[in-house]
């Protein structure tokens, strides 16, 4: 009898437990294999596979650490400025000495970043000192300009002698106007812009906004007073300077309130547009009254 090499292996016999054989209890021949067989199955001792439900496992970085997060403080997503830590109070003398450099910085490097770097220096004492500087210089230059104008119109001289009453009235009225107009206009403008910024979800406070506003408004106002001595070119330069001041104002709002350029421009330009509209309406009303009065007058 010839020897059978398959004898004793039970190939194809019922009850055989070899994998892949009919009746062995294993997978049928040709059936797809499970690549995760023995891994993550209940009772296998391996990790449970993620089924798509519940909380997914945390993602890992290249070295087993969580991936870095971007757009977190101190920078906001969108890059609309940042909030630096409040600096320690400085002596008044030191703060005043630093003002010229701050003015030069914001005027020559117009950006939200320039204003953001100065936000931590906001202080009510320096706000009032800048308002005082603005009012004093405006008063002095305004009086000089008024005196030149009166002398040119020969209204300053009476019988070839100086009129003390005219000098006193000029000094008192000019000083009173500047010392009242400067702080009143400051709080009105900054207050309106502050309310609009809050309506646009701004995050800054009134003190910081007012401080950064004065960093560009005070030097621009002083330069405007000086340009007023030049008859025609001074007027043109003053208009250009005012437009530049609007641009700087937008940057300051962006830095203080963390707003986009469009929203910050809206905060600055909406009051200007409303003011222009009011002037136009008043002009039309005055013209209409004059026309109506002229037609009503009997000839």
CA 203, CA 197: separation in Å to the nearest integer? 8
Three-state DSSP at 162 gives strand
Distance of CA 1 to the CA centre of its chain: 100
Helix or strand (DSSP H, E) at 129: helix 124-152
CA 95, CA 82: separation in Å to the nearest integer? 22
The winner for highest mean pLDDT among 43-47, 113-117, 139-143, 150-154 is 113-117
pLDDT 10s digits, 230-253 = 888 888 999 999 999 999 999 999
pLDDT 10s digits, 43-89 = 555 555 544 545 555 555 454 554 444 333 443 433 454 555 556 67
pLDDT 10s digits, 243-284 = 999 999 999 999 999 999 999 999 999 998 998 898 899 888
C-alpha distances out from residue 181 to 27, 74, 127, 210, 296, Å = 94, 38, 15, 16, 39
Cα pseudo-dihedral 226, 228, 229, 233, rounded to 10: 110
259 within 8 A of 197, measured Cβ to Cβ = yes
Residues 6+ positions from 241 with CB-CB distance below 8 Å: 220, 223, 224, 227
CA 102, CA 117: separation in Å to the nearest integer? 10
């Amino acid at each position: 009898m010839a020897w059978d090499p398959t004898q004793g292996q039970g190939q194809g016999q019922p009850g055989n437990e070899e994998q892949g054989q009919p009746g062995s209890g294993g997978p049928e021949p040709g059936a797809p294999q499970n690549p995760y067989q023995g891994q993550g199955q209940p009772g296998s001792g391996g990790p449970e596979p993620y089924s798509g439900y519940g909380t997914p496992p945390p993602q890992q970085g290249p070295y087993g650490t969580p991936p870095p997060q971007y757009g977190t403080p101190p920078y906001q997503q969108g890059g609309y400025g940042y909030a630096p830590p409040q600096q320690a109070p400085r002596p008044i003398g030191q703060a005043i000495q630093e003002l010229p450099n701050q003015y030069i910085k914001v005027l020559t490097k117009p950006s939200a970043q320039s204003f953001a770097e100065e936000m931590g220096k906001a202080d009510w004492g320096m706000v009032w000192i800048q308002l005082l500087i603005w009012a004093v210089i405006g008063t002095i230059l305004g009086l000089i300009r008024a005196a030149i104008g009166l002398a040119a119109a020969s209204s300053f001289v009476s019988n070839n002698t100086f009129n003390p009453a005219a000098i006193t009235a000029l000094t008192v009225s000019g000083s009173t106007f500047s010392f009242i107009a400067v702080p009143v206009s400051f709080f009105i403008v900054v207050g309106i812009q502050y309310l609009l910024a809050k309506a646009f979800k701004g995050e800054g406070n009134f003190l910081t906004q007012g401080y950064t506003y004065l960093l560009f408004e005070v030097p621009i106002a002083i330069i405007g007073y000086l340009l007023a001595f030049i008859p025609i070119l001074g007027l043109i330069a003053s208009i250009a300077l005012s437009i530049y001041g609007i641009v700087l104002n937008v940057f300051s709002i962006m830095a203080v309130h963390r707003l986009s350029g469009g929203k910050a421009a809206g905060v600055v330009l909406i009051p200007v547009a409303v003011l222009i509209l009011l002037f136009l309406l008043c002009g039309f009303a005055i013209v209409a009254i004059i026309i109506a009065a002229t037609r009503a007058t009997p000839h």
